[in-house]
């Protein structure tokens, strides 16, 4: 079925919702109560800086909840209020933050169970149920299934994600292969690729260079397919399906890298087909999320300051949070990615996720004496969580002061 025709049909259904139910004031009040912090607001009002004892905190000037995340959570809260007695399911984590997801469960919102094969089991959903689609969206196949079941659907998909879907549909209309800069297992990329025709998901510039070399010089098809296993559309053939490509991205990837990848493909196809033919072989649209870009730009300003270390707060499975840590690491600043304040302590220890690696415990991560700490957080991270992290840092510093005294 044509994806555009299906979406028109879905959006016109009385069982499908993309807006609230008139409970926005109550939803916003709940958001403010649960996730806003007076401490963080005071630091912002003080030029994004706070000094206490020997510790100076510098906040990134753009961090934490973005508009899309706030919208998603508010719509989920409104859905619970509108359907107080219905079973409510959600197809994935609503956002990549453990506190917010736990709050959803405390409100009686259940996650679609996953079977032993790692696939979602939608057999639990009945016509009387309500299903929430999270900020990352849901795949075309999942939307079809839910429409067939006749259940109510609240679609909280971030508009920036929907914008990418519209672009890959334009690629499909012209029979172009969508080159998607993203992580092929990420919920957003899974959804985006389901709306594409032919597609290839590439993780980074290094993989892009491999593909572009293949376009110019050819290579071993089997080796290519093995290298990108699970990251391409059924029947994809690199020898024929890379002649015309369009660029798209997972909205939380590094802005600069997406731009580099786009320019690399454009240069490659110009070399292959000539500048006069480029418009017949290459399409590119700006699909970088505004909030992602703002937080990355704020991180680049933060690392320009004199910092001893940076704490990046956000879900371990949050792509946009990982990109912030990547910026810190690329500037040679020690960084610690944690999801909650509970990762700090007992004592002067921290359990953090190393970049592109596993959890690691570091003892004595904060040193006595004057120290300057940069703090940022991903777009799915509540200010209350960041405030708890800062309080833990001050507690350790107070311990140092007591020992000296």
Banded model confidence at residue 111, pLDDT cuts 50, 70, 90? very high
Q: Is the entire prediction scored with pTM above 0.85?
A: yes
**Pairing state between β 49-52 and 55-59:** antiparallel
Per-residue model confidence as pLDDT tens digits over 243-261: 999 999 999 888 889 999 9
Contacts of 13 (CB under 8 A, 6+ apart): 147
Active site residue 188: yes
**Residues 380 and 95: beta-carbon distance below 8 Å:** yes
**Residues 217 and 198: beta-carbon distance below 8 Å:** no
- 276: which DSSP letter? G
- What percent of the chain is predicted at pLDDT more than 90? 82
The catalytically annotated residue of 188, 223, 259, 395 is 188
**Residues 188 and 251: beta-carbon distance below 8 Å:** yes
Check residue 7 and give its pLDDT: 75
Mean pLDDT across the stretch 123-152?
94
Burial 5-15 (b: 16+ CB within 10 A, else e): eebeebeeeee
Topology of domain 14-27+68-157, per CATH? Answer: Rossmann fold (3.40.50)
Task: Give the integer Cα–Cα distance in Å for 308 and 334.
Answer: 7
Is it the case that residue 287 has pLDDT exceeding 80? no
Which pair of structure tokens corresponds to residue 22? 């008139």
Banded model confidence at residue 402, pLDDT cuts 50, 70, 90? confident
Q: At what angle do helices 290-302 and 319-330 cross, to 10 degrees?
A: 30
- What percent of the chain is predicted at pLDDT more than 70? 100
Check residue 289 and give its pLDDT: 81
Report helix, strand or coil for 90. strand
Per-residue model confidence as pLDDT tens digits over 26-37: 999 999 999 999
- 156: which DSSP letter? -
Which region, left, alpha or beta, applies to residue 76 given φ > 0 means left and ψ of -120 to 50 means alpha?
A: alpha
Which pair of structure tokens corresponds to residue 12? 């016109």
Mean pLDDT across the stretch 107-130?
93
Task: Give the integer Cα–Cα distance in Å for 296 and 143.
Answer: 32
Per-residue model confidence as pLDDT tens digits over 294-348: 999 999 999 999 999 999 999 998 988 999 999 999 999 999 999 999 999 999 9
Instruction: Decide if domain 160-288 falls under CATH 3.30.230.10.
Output: no
Check residue 69 and give its pLDDT: 92
Banded model confidence at residue 288, pLDDT cuts 50, 70, 90? confident
Apex CA 55: angle with CA 49 and CA 60, to 5°? 35
Per-residue model confidence as pLDDT tens digits over 227-248: 999 999 999 999 999 999 999 9
Check residue 1 and give its pLDDT: 53
**Pairing state between β 359-363 and 349-353:** antiparallel
Mean pLDDT across the stretch 268-278?
95
Banded model confidence at residue 405, pLDDT cuts 50, 70, 90? low
Chain center to CA of 62: 16
Task: Give the integer Cα–Cα distance in Å for 189 and 209.
Answer: 20
Mean pLDDT across the stretch 8-21?
85
Which pair of structure tokens corresponds to residue 30? 């709940």
pLDDT, averaged across the chain: 93
Is 138 or 14 the better-scoring residue by pLDDT?
138
- 232: which DSSP letter? B
Task: Give the integer Cα–Cα distance in Å for 321 and 381.
Answer: 9
Which pair of structure tokens corresponds to residue 361? 């415990």
Per-residue model confidence as pLDDT tens digits over 350-401: 999 998 888 999 999 999 999 999 999 999 999 999 999 999 999 999 888 7
Burial of 38 (0-12, 13-18, 19+ CB in 10 A): exposed
- CATH classification of 46-66+291-404, choosing from 3.40.1010.20, 3.40.50.800, 3.40.640.10, 3.90.660.10? 3.40.1010.20
Task: Give the integer Cα–Cα distance in Å for 151 and 125.
Answer: 8
Check residue 327 and give its pLDDT: 94
**Angstrom distances, CA of residue 113 to CA of 92, 116, 399:** 10, 10, 45
**Residue 353: strand pairing partners:** 337, 359
Domain ranges of the chain: 14-27+68-157, 46-66+291-404, 160-288
Check residue 176 and give its pLDDT: 97
Place of tokens 């190393």: 354
Task: Give the integer Cα–Cα distance in Å for 46 and 57.
Answer: 11
Per-residue model confidence as pLDDT tens digits over 42-86: 999 999 999 999 999 999 999 999 999 999 999 999 999 999 999
Check residue 5 and give its pLDDT: 77
Q: Which helix (H) or strand (E) holds 371?
A: strand 371-377
**Residues 240 and 204: beta-carbon distance below 8 Å:** no
Is it the case that residue 286 has pLDDT exceeding 80? no
Fold match, 46-66+291-404 / 160-288: yes
Report helix, strand or coil for 1. coil
Place of tokens 């990109």: 323
Task: Give the integer Cα–Cα distance in Å for 312 and 36.
Answer: 18
Is it the case that residue 218 has pLDDT exceeding 60? yes
């Amino acid at each position: 079925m044509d994806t555009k025709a299906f979406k028109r049909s879905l959006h016109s259904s009385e069982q499908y919702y993309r807006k609230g139910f008139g409970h926005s004031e109550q939803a916003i009040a709940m958001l403010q109560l649960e996730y806003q912090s007076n401490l963080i607001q005071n630091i912002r009002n003080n030029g994004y800086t706070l000094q206490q004892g020997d510790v100076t905190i510098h906040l990134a000037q753009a961090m934490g909840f973005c508009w899309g995340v706030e919208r998603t959570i508010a719509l989920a809260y409104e859905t619970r209020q509108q359907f107080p007695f219905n079973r409510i399911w959600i197809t994935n984590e609503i956002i990549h933050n453990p506190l917010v997801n736990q709050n959803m469960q405390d409100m009686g919102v259940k996650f679609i169970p996953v079977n032993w094969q790692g696939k979602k089991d939608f057999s639990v959903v009945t016509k009387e149920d309500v299903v929430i689609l999270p900020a990352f969206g849901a795949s075309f196949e999942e939307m079809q299934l839910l429409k067939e079941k006749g259940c109510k659907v609240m679609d909280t998909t971030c508009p920036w994600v929907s914008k990418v879907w519209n672009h890959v549909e334009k690629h499909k209309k012209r029979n172009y292969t969508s080159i998607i800069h993203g992580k092929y297992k990420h919920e957003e990329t899974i959804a985006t690729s389901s709306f594409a025709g032919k597609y290839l998901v590439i993780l980074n510039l290094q993989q892009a260079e491999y593909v572009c070399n293949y376009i110019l010089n050819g290579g071993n098809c089997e080796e290519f397919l093995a290298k990108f296993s699970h990251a391409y559309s059924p029947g994809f053939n690199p020898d024929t399906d890379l002649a015309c490509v369009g660029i798209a991205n997972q909205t939380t990837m590094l802005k600069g890298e997406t731009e580099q990848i786009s320019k690399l493909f454009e240069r490659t196809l110009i070399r292959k087909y000539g500048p006069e033919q480029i418009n017949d072989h290459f399409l590119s649209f700006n699909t970088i999320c505004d909030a992602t870009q703002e937080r990355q730009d704020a991180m680049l300003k933060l690392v320009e300051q004199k910092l001893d270390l940076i704490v990046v707060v956000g879900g371990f499975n949050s792509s946009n949070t990982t990109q912030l840590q990547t910026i810190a690491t690329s500037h040679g600043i020690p960084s610690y990615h944690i999801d909650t304040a509970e990762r700090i302590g007992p004592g002067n220890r921290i359990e953090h996720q190393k970049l592109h690696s596993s959890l690691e415990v570091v003892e004595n991560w904060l040193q006595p004496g004057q120290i300057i700490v940069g703090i940022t957080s991903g777009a799915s991270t509540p200010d209350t969580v960041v405030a708890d992290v800062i309080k833990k840092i001050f507690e350790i510093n107070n311990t140092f002061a007591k020992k000296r005294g």
